[in-house]
């Protein structure tokens, strides 16, 4: 693994009326496991299915039904743990978290309170070239999702859709190491990127497949450092938890608002009460939902329907051996192997598909040139039509042809853009386009020479001027390029113009 050197960003400081304050943030991210079946039943996890069509008897809370652990979900949780460089617990266990909700027919959620499957890990959160925050992961546990109550379909009735009931979630709990709203959003972004690379969660935030509970507190400068030295939470401020956030923008706005609310409250002589709050994006504010519930409120106890979960090291090793190259390593390798800037490398590794496309183009070609074409031309064009790289009408092999045609001098960079446009619109091969449309650059010096002679003969006054002031030779180059329809090799034109003018 290649590591890039980095420096920690400065924590965000907010000036209150009386003091300066710093933020302390910890996230509990719920990531839906990319499994076709639920955690303890064989029902499908398909999104957008007809309401209540993906419900097994177990999910509906029918008496006598027993949960059966889905091994695939366990493997994906382990894979996620390995991707976050976390400890994998060979012995874990499931607990019942008891509460009533209309969309939770069992009357409890099967979760892992006491013995989670994954222990301590870490996420490196990039905040700019060479600047990153190492956020510690406390644990990852597996649990069931609840269903969905629908309140806005009828003025007098609510409906319940149990399709999501029992779907496997990984709850990824961070330590309170995040020091500002931008960092919180970047943390979610990085986590999402890693999960997508691993293929353990699709990261679709709009569908709620990745959502975060955001814990926010404020403290005076220096308190966080004391916490890091001593591990003593009590030196930090009391936190509020903002529930169920599924947009990076709203996460930032909610933290900003919540921090200012807490500062005003404390500076006014008040006290922050530990509670669960909701963010209202229309009003741009958080409001109290309920006072904080403690573990004992849920009457947690070991789930009697399930044996403790025992996995063996050899099985874990098998999953570890299969881990893909992850974003940090890939980015570092792109910088080293292809000579890319850190910025370009991070753009190209944002999604595994982008990175694969780049490598297919860059293989045995100039890496920087491949990167420029993908970032400046292809991405720009794809973005216009809201397409992802997998939908690109120009394949990696085709973009590679364009790079080759430029490198061999067959087309100029300018003509290459036209070729790219045609290929993008029609899917035709660039090599074929250049041949059929007669776009090949004229490198034949005889033909270029003739064009240069013609322009010089037709413009004696310009010739005089250019001989007195060689900077004006550029005008001749422009005329020759025009006369050749942009197909003349610019280097050859420059040389010939200079020679003919005797410069
Ligand atoms: P609980 O046991 O009440 O769920 P945890 O200690 O497990 O609390 O923490 C839950 C989440 O709250 C974690 O993501 C953690 O990082 C975060 N957290 C804990 N203390 C603070 C704090 N003072 N400020 C902000 N976040 C915090
Ligand atoms: Mg907790």
Q: Which residues line ligand 1 (CB under 6 A)?
A: 24-28, 173-176, 215-217, 233, 236-237, 239
Q: Which ligand does the CA of 174 lie closest to?
A: 1
* Interval between CA 215 and ligand 1 midpoint (Å): 6
* Interval between CA 26 and ligand 1 midpoint (Å): 6
> Closest Cα to atom 17, ligand 1: which residue?
26
Q: Is the pTM of this model over 0.85?
A: yes
Q: Which ligand does the CA of 184 lie closest to?
A: 1
CA distance 245 to 242: 7
> Closest Cα to atom 8, ligand 1: which residue?
294
Per-residue confidence (pLDDT) for residue 130, from 0 to 100: 86
Per-residue confidence (pLDDT) for residue 1, from 0 to 100: 42
Per-residue confidence (pLDDT) for residue 502, from 0 to 100: 85
Per-residue confidence (pLDDT) for residue 290, from 0 to 100: 84
CA distance 489 to 502: 20
Query: What are the structural domains, with CATH classification, of the chain?
Result: 5-212 (no CATH), 324-436 (no CATH), 445-501 (1.10.10)
Q: Residue 48 burial by CB count (10 A; 0-12/13-18/19+): exposed, middle or buried?
A: exposed
Instruction: Show pLDDT as tens, one digit a residue, over the chain (503 residues).
Output: 445 678 999 999 999 999 999 999 999 999 999 999 999 999 999 999 999 999 999 999 999 999 999 999 999 999 999 999 999 999 999 999 999 999 999 999 999 999 999 999 999 999 988 899 999 999 999 999 999 999 999 999 999 999 999 999 999 999 999 999 999 999 999 999 999 999 999 999 999 999 999 999 999 999 999 999 999 999 999 999 999 999 999 999 999 999 999 999 999 999 999 999 999 999 999 999 888 778 788 999 999 999 999 999 999 999 999 999 999 999 999 999 999 999 999 999 999 999 999 999 999 999 999 999 999 999 999 999 999 999 999 999 999 999 999 998 889 888 999 999 999 999 999 999 999 988 887 777 788 888 899 999 999 998 989 888 888 889 999 998 888 888 788 888 888 899 888 87
Please report the atom of ligand 1 found closest to the CA of residue 294.
3
> In this structure, are residues 216 and 25 in contact, taking their beta carbons and an 8 Å threshold?
yes
Helices (H), 238-293: 248-267
Distances in Å between the alpha carbon of 263 and those of 21, 22, 268? Answer: 8, 10, 8
Say which residue the tokens 């870490």 belong to: 122
Mutate to test the pocket of ligand 1, among 215, 227, 259, 298 (most ligand atoms within 8 A of CB): 215
Q: Which residues pair with 310 in a beta bridge?
A: 91
Per-residue confidence (pLDDT) for residue 296, from 0 to 100: 82
Per-residue confidence (pLDDT) for residue 4, from 0 to 100: 61
Per-residue confidence (pLDDT) for residue 304, from 0 to 100: 97
387 Cβ contact partners less than 8 Å away, ≥ 6 residues apart: none
- Pick from 371, 255, 264: nearest CA to 17: 264
Crossing angle (nearest 10°) for helices 396-407 and 352-362:
40
Q: Which ligand does the CA of 293 lie closest to?
A: 1
Q: Which ligand does the CA of 26 lie closest to?
A: 1
* Interval between CA 265 and ligand 2 midpoint (Å): 25
Please report the atom of ligand 1 found closest to the CA of residue 26.
16
> In this structure, are residues 92 and 129 in contact, taking their beta carbons and an 8 Å threshold?
no
Crossing angle (nearest 10°) for helices 490-501 and 445-458:
50
Please report the atom of ligand 1 found closest to the CA of residue 237.
23
Per-residue confidence (pLDDT) for residue 503, from 0 to 100: 79
* Interval between CA 187 and ligand 2 midpoint (Å): 18
Mutate to test the pocket of ligand 1, among 176, 187, 272, 273 (most ligand atoms within 8 A of CB): 176
Per-residue confidence (pLDDT) for residue 491, from 0 to 100: 82
Per-residue tokens: 160: 């319940």
* Interval between CA 234 and ligand 1 midpoint (Å): 11
* Interval between CA 170 and ligand 2 midpoint (Å): 13
Please report the atom of ligand 1 found closest to the CA of residue 217.
24
* Interval between CA 83 and ligand 2 midpoint (Å): 21
Q: Which ligand does the CA of 258 lie closest to?
A: 1
């Amino acid at each position: 693994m290649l590591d890039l050197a980095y420096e920690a960003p400065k924590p965000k400081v907010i000036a209150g009326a009386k003091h300066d304050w710093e933020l302390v943030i910890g996230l509990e991210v719920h990531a839906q496991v990319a499994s076709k079946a639920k955690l303890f039943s064989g029902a499908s996890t398909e999104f957008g299915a007809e309401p209540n069509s993906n419900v097994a008897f177990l999910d509906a809370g029918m008496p006598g039904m027993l949960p059966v652990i889905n091994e695939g979900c366990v493997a994906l949780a382990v894979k996620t743990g390995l991707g976050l460089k976390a400890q994998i617990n060979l012995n874990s266990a499931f607990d019942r978290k008891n509460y009533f909700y209309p969309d939770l027919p069992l009357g409890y959620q099967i979760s892992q309170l006491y013995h989670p499957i994954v222990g301590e890990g870490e996420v490196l959160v990039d905040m700019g070239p060479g600047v990153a925050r190492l956020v510690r992961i406390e644990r990852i546990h597996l649990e069931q999702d609840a269903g969905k109550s629908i309140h806005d379909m009828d003025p007098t009735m609510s409906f319940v859709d149990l399709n999501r009931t029992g779907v496997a979630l990984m709850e990824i709990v961070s330590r309170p190491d995040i020091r500002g709203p931008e960092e919180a959003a970047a943390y979610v972004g990085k986590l999402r990127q890693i999960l997508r690379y691993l293929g353990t969660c699709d990261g679709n935030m709009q569908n709620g497949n990745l959502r975060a509970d955001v814990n926010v507190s404020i403290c005076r400068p220096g308190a966080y450092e004391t916490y890091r030295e001593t591990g003593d939470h009590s030196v930090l401020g009391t936190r509020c938890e903002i529930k169920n956030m599924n947009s990076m923008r709203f996460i930032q706005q909610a933290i900003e608002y919540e921090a200012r609310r807490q500062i005003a409250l404390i500076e006014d002589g008040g006290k922050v009460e530990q509670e669960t709050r909701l963010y209202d994006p229309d009003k741009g504010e958080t409001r109290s939902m309920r006072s904080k519930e403690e573990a004992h409120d849920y009457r947690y106890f070991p789930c009697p329907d399930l044996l403790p979960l025992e996995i063996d090291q050899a099985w874990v090793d098998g999953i570890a051996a299969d881990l893909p190259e992850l974003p940090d390593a890939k980015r570092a390798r792109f910088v080293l192997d292809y000579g890319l800037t850190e910025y370009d490398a991070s753009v190209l590794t944002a999604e595994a598909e982008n990175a694969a496309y780049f490598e297919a183009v860059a293989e045995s070609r100039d890496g920087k040139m491949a990167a420029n074409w993908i970032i400046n031309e292809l991405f720009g064009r794809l973005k216009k039509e809201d397409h992802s790289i997998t939908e690109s009408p120009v394949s990696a092999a085709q973009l590679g042809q364009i790079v080759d045609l430029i490198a061999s001098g067959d087309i100029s960079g300018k003509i290459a853009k036209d070729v790219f446009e045609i290929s993008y619109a029609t899917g035709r091969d660039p090599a074929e386009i250049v041949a059929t449309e007669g776009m090949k650059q004229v490198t034949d010096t005889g033909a270029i020479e003739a064009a240069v002679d013609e322009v010089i003969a037709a413009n004696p006054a310009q010739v005089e001027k250019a001989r007195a002031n060689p900077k004006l030779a550029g005008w001749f180059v422009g005329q020759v390029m025009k006369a050749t329809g942009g197909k003349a090799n610019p280097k050859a034109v420059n040389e010939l113009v200079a020679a003919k003018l005797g410069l």
